[in-house]
Structure formats: C-alpha cells, structure tokens
Amino acid sequence: MKIEIYKFPMNGPEDLSGLRSLVEDGTVIPNEIVAIIAKTEGNGNVNDFTRGYTTFAIKSMLSNYLGCTHSNVSERVSIVCSGGCEGVMSPHATVFTKKNVNENKVSDDKRFAIGVNKTRELLPEEIGTCIHAKLVYQNVKEAMALALIENVKDVHYVQIKCPLLTSGRINDAERRGKQVVTKDTLKSMAFSRGASSLGVAMALNEVDEDKIVDSTICNDWSHFSSVASASAGIELMNNEIIVMGNSKKSISNCIIGHSVMNDPIDSMAVRNALQSVGINANPKVDIDDQKRLINVFAKAEAHTSGLVKNRRTTMLTDSDINSTRYARAVVNAVIASIVDDPMVYVSGGSEHQGPLGGGPVSVIAYIA
C-alpha cells in the first residue's frame, strides 16, 4: 500500500484548478483518489452551503474523469468539506491517493496509511444518539482494517463528516411520530459531532462502550476521543469516515502523529504534535522542515465556562458571532504562527473531541 498526499489552495468554493492541474500533469491518477478534505469559506453553521457547493464541484469533476455518475463518485471517494475560514485561515483542499503495490519494505518502520468508509444514511431521529455513535463505531473499525492498521495506538486522526437536522428533517420525524434529539438546528450539529466522536472513541478503546448512553452525548465531557475530528453539514445524511494512522504494511513516504490541545492557545500541544513526526518548532518550524510539512488538522472550541487560562472571554456571550467561528480563528492563528503558514485545517465544534475547551491536533509530514 502506498499513499500520496497533495494540498492545493482554493480561490473560491468551486475552485478545483489545483486538483485539475495535478490530474492533467499526471501527478494524480483520478481512480486512485480515495479521499478529499476541504476547508471552505462559509460560516460553518447550518446554512453554510459552500460545503455542498464544493462537494458538488468535486463530484462533477471526478465524474467526468472517472466516467461515472455523482453517486458513483460518492461510493468511491470520501469527500469532507468543513466550512469556516475565519481570521487568516486560507481555504484549501487535501487530496489522498492510494494504490496497492508489490514493493517489499526494507524495514519494519510504520508509514502513513488511510482507510475510508461510510455509514448508511441516518434517520433524523437517529442523529446525535447512541444509534448514531454505534454506527460510526462499527464503520471506524472497518476503515481501520482497510488501512491495514493493526493497533489502535497507531491511529492518529479520524475525520468524520456527519449530518445535521433541518426544519424539514425534524418535520419528517414528527410526521412519523418520532422525536429528535433537539429542535434547535444549530445544536443538532453539536449532538451529531458528539455522537460521531464517541463512536470513534469506542472503536479505538478510548471509552467503555457500556458507559455511553444517549444522556452521555453533549453532557458528560469526561468521555472523549483524542484523535476524532467531526464536522457536521447539511449536504449529507450518512457519515463519511476517514481513518489515518501508521502501518508496517505501508510504503508511503510520509507519517502522521498527534497531540491534544487543552485550550485554544495551547501552543505546546501543537509543538508536541510536530515533534511526533520529527519536526522541531523552537520557536517555530524552520524552512527545511516547512518543506516536510504536508498539513496540520485541528479541532477548536470555546470552553463552556467561557474561560481561557482562567481569563474571561466573550466567545460565548457575543450573540452576533457563533463561538465556533472565534475558536477556529484563534486556533488557526496559533498553528499558523508556529508553522509559518495559515493554510492549515481547523474545524470548529469539538464535542467529545479532546478535553472540554480543547481538541486534537494531528500532523502529516514527509519522512526526513
């Protein structure tokens, strides 16, 4: 198994010129693409349609290259679009290709590996519940096997794209006599992310499956995953699952590592994540190591107390701007100041993704 990873900037939600160039110059073979993760410039909330716009653009391009329908593209490629590029965060996409090779490795060192999977479509009343979490749990296990990762400790990043509730979806459930987890569409994003992340935590033995019940989700913050990254969107009803880690059976030229931020300005956790792939940042990444760095993926959220380092903030009391937008801007700025590049992936809303107010941070880099 060999994985190649490419990152390209986007000048708008529909701009895939970077991917087109990679395909046309022969760098990327379309039928080897297994996943695309993009940061789009919408508000990241319920009515962020840039995610769907980018997803549609990707499906349209790949359907032409692959000679198949949009639905066929969805079956072959896991597409995750996360909205919100506040502050200095630069819109971009990361493409992952995978091919099976017969080349023998000369060592037992572990290299980057990836496995993708998807759940069935959820019913509105299942979103944000234990049913949701257990579906993710089962499919993360399968994706891990597809990645040829044998030990849960070798998993360093699990990206989930999960659904949310809309008025139409809520009405559909009620017409059938079913009750949804919340009638607040914005809060439904949190419940969906939380259930997805607890599913990851169960799959990776980070929490005891028997302790996770419906009332645990978005309530008991002592249960979380240190590698989950869940992003909710209006553009789907299933869960897209991308498991990344290191495997002895991979001959990729890159590796992945992670750490966990305890709050939005936890720069030491960012440095620890970089160090896990052999990149020093004292105080920031030097020019040579910048060339090794492929991308950084992080989660961001305001603590429910509104405090950071015991200092009061207004992230939770500003009614004009959702707190996830503040958190994304802050975490991106912290990471960008260390790696000297604002084109990194930061997703808002870290329910059960790292400790309360914090979040996982993962780094993919070329092997030195």
Active site residues: 161, 231
CATH number of 111-244: 3.30.1330.180
Residue 205, Cα to own-chain centre: how many angstroms? 19
pTM for this model (two decimals): 0.96
Across the chain, mean pLDDT equals 96
C-alpha–C-alpha distance, residues 149 and 140, integer Å: 11
DSSP-assigned states of every residue in 44-97: SSTT-THHHHHHHHHHHHHHHHHTS-HHHHHHH-EEEEEE---TTPPPEEEEEE
Rounded Cα–Cα distance for residues 193 and 281 (Å): 31
Q: What is the pLDDT of residue 219?
A: 96
Which helix H or strand E contains 146, and what residues bound it? helix 130-146
Give the model's pLDDT for residue 180. 98
Q: What is the pLDDT of residues 324-343, one digit of tens each?
A: 999 999 999 999 999 999 99
C-alpha to C-alpha distance for 98 and 165, rounded to whole angstroms: 33
Q: What angle do CA 174, 238, 198 make, to 5 degrees?
A: 95
Residue 105: the pLDDT is 64
Which superfamily does CATH assign the domain made up of 2-99 to? Cyanuric acid hydrolase/Barbiturase, RU A (3.30.1330.170)
The CATH number assigned to the domain with range 253-366 reads: 3.30.1330.160
CA atoms of 192 and 172, how far apart (whole Å): 18
Name the strand (E) or helix (H) holding 268.
helix 267-275
> At 36, which helix (H) or strand (E)?
strand 33-40
The pLDDT confidence band at residue 108, using thresholds 50, 70 and 90, is confident
Check residue 100 and give its pLDDT. Answer: 84
Angle made by CA atoms 60, 61, 67, in degrees to the nearest 5: 85
- Distance set, CA 358 to CA 194, 212, 262 (Å): 14, 21, 4
Do 2-99 and 253-366 show the same overall fold? yes
Between the two ends of the chain, the Cα-to-Cα distance in Å is 20
pLDDT at 101: 82
Other CB atoms within 10 A of residue 311 CB:
7
Q: Domains of the chain: which residue ranges? A: 2-99, 111-244, 253-366
Number of residues in the chain: 368
Q: How many CB atoms lie within 10 A of CB 163?
A: 26
Asked if the model's pLDDT at residue 106 lies above 60, the reply is: no
